[in-house]
Amino acid sequence: MSEAATGLVRISLDAMGGDFGPSVVIPGAARAAERHPDARFVIFGKEAEINAELAKFPALRDKVKVTHAEIAISMEDKPSQALRAGRYKSSMWMAIDAVKKGDADVCVSAGNTGALMVMSRFCLKMMPGIDRPAIACMWPTAKGESIVLDVGASIGAEAENLVDMAIMGSAMARIVFDIDRPTVGLLNVGVEEMKGVEEVKEAARILRESNLPNMQYMGYVEGDDIGKGTTDVVVTEGFSGNIALKTAEGTAKQVADFLKAAISRSFMAKIGYVFARGAFKALKAKLDPRRSNGGVFLGLDGIVVKSHGGTDPLGFATAIDVAYDMVKYELLAKITKALAERGDWVLPGASSSMVEAAGDAGAAQPAKAPTNGTEG
Amino acid sequence: MSEAATGLVRISLDAMGGDFGPSVVIPGAARAAERHPDARFVIFGKEAEINAELAKFPALRDKVKVTHAEIAISMEDKPSQALRAGRYKSSMWMAIDAVKKGDADVCVSAGNTGALMVMSRFCLKMMPGIDRPAIACMWPTAKGESIVLDVGASIGAEAENLVDMAIMGSAMARIVFDIDRPTVGLLNVGVEEMKGVEEVKEAARILRESNLPNMQYMGYVEGDDIGKGTTDVVVTEGFSGNIALKTAEGTAKQVADFLKAAISRSFMAKIGYVFARGAFKALKAKLDPRRSNGGVFLGLDGIVVKSHGGTDPLGFATAIDVAYDMVKYELLAKITKALAERGDWVLPGASSSMVEAAGDAGAAQPAKAPTNGTEG
């Protein structure tokens, strides 16, 4: 964690990620740089394309360092293909590796999620004390925003993993919402006494009984509680989390499309639209996925932020904002501290994490060549 | 299945289910009866309350038979409590039991889902060849409607259970959409090569290779495909299905509420609303949960339809419509036939169902006293 040393926030960018590569990444960086004068960028990708874009943003010139990368991971590459073809020499790998090497404090990529997660895990390894990575996203709610995790890093979760996610998500919430004890809910289904969610029940017991200092555990929440903003943090395993996220995105789009179609079918409604333009604009802004762009990979020994692949410079700048905040307000240190506090609270039946923590810590020592690690 | 004998569709109603009991159930039945002259109702619950409501609908008089039930299951009762307190003597149990006894062809209740499922399973038992029940719901989409199952009967599913759901959901789709080979998708997450969804992958393989005659298996769908209407039937296990459903309901409400608030904040927008009223009305109708009310319990040896607990007579009538159609167009016979066809197609690695089918069939024989069964 060398950000403190320089006072700058150094962000590595995978310029080739996403549907539009440097033509979105560079203008996005330029926007973010205006908001954050202490941000610096180390950029990886096709040098010629990057420089052509950079020429349009002279204010960025002194704030970036460009390193050529031969290979660009495509949005269609399977994670294993991406790792085989792109390790060491792809812009994605190099951007992640900059964090590992200490040349950057955080990495942002709009590249494909599976490849980015596999490479991040392979390169950065897990944080000591954490078993599995999770992806946390910002979810627009009736009250503002909540953090939902995991939205697709891992499928299934043991109780211990869910507790870890509650801890990591709370650390992120303390930064994003600037509150001391964010509220946390475990996503569950409403029907009591159903079989098969033993992990969720056990996680609930641990969270309730351990009463951790940096969060308020509120109990179970259901699917409709997410949009209500019932809790600041919603924890679930990655399969249902991913389905919830995509279902919500789909539903919001469906409602908006239906409204648009209904209005365009009638002349009167079109007139109404003109009068109510402000309201429609507010709705559009509220539903704008660019405003909540930036999935944070949690649990790794380094921070990686995933931008939507199809976003524009405005959206990419939002993802950079998220990355900036995570460094500036010391996400990793907050998580590490919260994990240490958990140590005192670990209860019988939920004990394996400490052993694993010790094992992971050992694996992270430089004595073991990182290139021999084959996690995940 | 005795509906054919009389030519009538005999529907048993749990008059005490839901937030409003007979004051919604009876007017709902009256509405449904207007649409379906061949529908008859056997109604269970507090006789005095039911008769007071029935007095308002003289056209119903010749079409109903009321049986007093001492106990009403509350919306808060846990399934096990409900079963202990309400077996034999609650309106819910008696309404289900009417199907078992052959006094009704289908049961409709707005009572609590967990209790209704446990009682239904306990009373009706599983259909031969099916391991687990599923709840199928109608989901409004951009194209019209799709059937999504399981939205909360069982948590987790083996490959075989998912295949069964595809078969049962397709049978229901053939009735509801009046098409020969409905399209079927398996709900999954987008990231390839993730671990932990072996069951979904195996189900996909079976569905692909068996190429069943009554459905077109289309492959994986993601959360946002549900609202797009990508397939007629979407299959998933009950945890993620329930979360998807509630998340979508929550999101639709959130968007509508936001739009309402945005319009009410500005005088100009209110004027716009007046002009665009038709469009807003169309949106409201589209989002109206009463129009897609009625979750069908599949996999049981009898049909039970669950209405939303908080619905009004219009919504309850929709649930009765669903129940009516399932009987009229022979859901159970369609499922039984489709299961028999599957028999020929079962592949190595997916073979256990035939053994279980034989076991279940045995258990369903009258030689075994039904009251000794302790399923679930």
What three-state secondary structure class fits A68? strand
Listed in sequence order, the residues at least 6 apart from A210 whose beta carbon sits closer than 8 Å to its beta carbon are A342, A345, A346, A347
Any B CB within 8 A of A4 CB: no
- Tell me the residues of chain A between 306 and 365 that have a Cβ less than 8 Å away from chain B: none
- The dihedral region occupied by A289, where left means phi > 0, alpha psi between -120 and 50, and beta the remainder, is alpha
**How many Å apart are CA A182 and CA A168, to the nearest integer?**
11
CATH number of B137-295+330-368: 3.40.718.10
Answer CATH for A137-292 from 3.40.718.10, 3.40.50.300, 3.50.50.60, 3.20.20.140? 3.40.718.10
Residue B5 has pLDDT above 60, yes or no: no
Check if B1-130+299-329 and B137-295+330-368 are the same fold: yes
What are the residue boundaries of the structural domains of chain B, listed by start? 1-130+299-329, 137-295+330-368
Q: Could B250 and A256 be called an inter-chain contact, meaning their C-beta atoms sit closer than 8 Å?
A: no
- Between A223-232, A261-270, B240-249, the lowest mean confidence (pLDDT) is in A261-270
In this prediction, residue A255 has a pLDDT band, given cuts at 50, 70 and 90, of: confident
Between CA A86 and CA A97, with CA A91 as vertex, the angle to 5 degrees is: 85
CA atoms within 13 A on the CB side of B97: 14
Give per-residue pLDDT as tens, A56-95: 999 999 999 999 999 999 988 888 899 999 999 999 999 9
Q: In what order do the strands lie in the sheet with B295-298?
A: B64-68, B39-45, B9-14, B106-109, B303-306, B295-298, B134-140, B145-149, B233-235, B183-187, B216-221
Tokens representing A121 are: 């895990």
What is the pLDDT at residue B282? 82
- Tell me the residues of chain B between 71 and 90 that have a Cβ less than 8 Å away from chain A: 78-80
Chain A residues whose CB is inside 8 A of the B271 CB are 272, 275-276
- pTM here? 0.85
Tokens representing B347 are: 């592949």
In this prediction, residue A195 has a pLDDT band, given cuts at 50, 70 and 90, of: low
Strand A39-45 relative to strand A64-68, pairing: parallel
Any B CB within 8 A of A277 CB: yes
Q: Could A78 and B236 be called an inter-chain contact, meaning their C-beta atoms sit closer than 8 Å?
A: no
By C-alpha distance, the chain A residue nearest B288 is A255
What is the pLDDT at residue A238? 93
d(CA B169, nearest CA chain A) in Å: 20
Chain A residues whose CB is inside 8 A of the B263 CB are 276, 279
Chain B residues whose CB is inside 8 A of the A278 CB are 262, 266, 268-269
What is the mean predicted confidence (pLDDT) over B158-175?
Answer: 95
Any B CB within 8 A of A196 CB: yes
What is the pLDDT at residue A307? 96
Q: Could B196 and A243 be called an inter-chain contact, meaning their C-beta atoms sit closer than 8 Å?
A: no
**How many Å apart are CA B145 and CA A361, to the nearest integer?**
52
d(CA A124, nearest CA chain B) in Å: 19
Chain B residues whose CB is inside 8 A of the A251 CB are 227, 247-248, 251-252, 255
Any B CB within 8 A of A295 CB: no
Any A CB within 8 A of B370 CB: no
In whole numbers, what is the pLDDT of chain B averaged over residues?
87
d(CA A314, nearest CA chain B) in Å: 23
Q: Could A248 and B243 be called an inter-chain contact, meaning their C-beta atoms sit closer than 8 Å?
A: no
What is the rounded end-to-end Cα distance, in angstroms, of chain B? 24
Residue B229 CA: distances (Å) to CA of A179, A239, A253, A261, B222: 40, 21, 13, 17, 11
Residue A365 has pLDDT above 70, yes or no: no
Chain B residues whose CB is inside 8 A of the A228 CB are 250, 254
- Tell me the residues of chain A between 21 and 50 that have a Cβ less than 8 Å away from chain B: none
CATH number of B1-130+299-329: 3.40.718.10
Q: Could A255 and B257 be called an inter-chain contact, meaning their C-beta atoms sit closer than 8 Å?
A: no
Q: Where are the alpha helices (DSSP H) in B197-311?
A: 198-210, 223-228, 238-264, 267-275, 277-287
Chain A residues whose CB is inside 8 A of the B224 CB are 246-247, 249-250, 253
* Fold held by A1-130+299-376: Rossmann fold (3.40.50)
In single-letter form, the type of residue at position B231 comes to: T
Chain A residues whose CB is inside 8 A of the B274 CB are 272
Residue B157 has pLDDT above 80, yes or no: yes
Residue B326 in contact with residue B303, Cβ under 8 Å? yes
Q: How far is CA B10 from the centre of its chain?
A: 18
Residue A376 has pLDDT above 50, yes or no: no
Please report, rounded to a whole number, the percentage of residues in chain B having pLDDT higher than 70: 88
**How many Å apart are CA B8 and CA B33, to the nearest integer?**
12
Q: What are residue B126's DSSP bridge partners?
A: B300
What three-state secondary structure class fits A97? helix
Residue A367 has pLDDT above 50, yes or no: no
